[in-house]
């Protein structure tokens, strides 16, 4: 991944870590269920956003390098594995 993508990913992780700590506190404090769910869903969206950033970084760096060096099967297999784990995008 590029240095800029890495910087952005680390920044997002710090935000997510803070959200997870806040969620832990909400659970410990027995907060209202909808407040807990709102924060939990927000964390899940933030993680999906982080995933998208990392995937884009992978495509722009490693996949391009793999294709250029004749390792296109490896690139395709990695992306297929990711697709099988994640499933198709919701539409």
pLDDT tens per residue across span 49-76: 999 999 999 999 999 999 999 999 999 9
Report yes or no on 17 lying in a domain.
Answer: yes
pLDDT tens per residue across span 7-47: 999 999 999 999 999 999 999 999 999 999 999 999 999 99
Domain count, the chain: 1
pLDDT at 39: 98
CA separation for the pair 64, 66 (Å, rounded): 5
Which CATH number does the domain housing residue 14 bear?
A: 1.20.58.1000
Q: How crowded is the C-beta side of 32, counted as CA atoms within 13 Å?
A: 3
> Which phi and psi (to 5°) does residue 8 adopt?
-65, -40
Report yes or no on 33 lying in a domain.
Answer: yes
Domain enclosing residue 36, as ranges: 3-86
Predicted TM-score (pTM) of the model is: 0.81
Report yes or no on 91 lying in a domain.
Answer: no
């Amino acid at each position: 991944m590029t240095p800029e993508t890495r910087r952005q990913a680390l920044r997002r992780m710090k935000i997510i870590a803070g959200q997870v700590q806040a969620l832990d506190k909400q659970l410990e404090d027995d907060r209202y269920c909808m407040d807990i769910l709102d924060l939990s869903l927000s964390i899940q969206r933030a993680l999906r956003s982080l995933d998208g950033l990392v995937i884009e970084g992978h495509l722009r760096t490693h996949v391009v390098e793999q294709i250029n060096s004749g390792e296109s099967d490896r690139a395709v297999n990695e992306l297929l594995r990711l697709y099988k784990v994640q499933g198709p995008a919701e539409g």
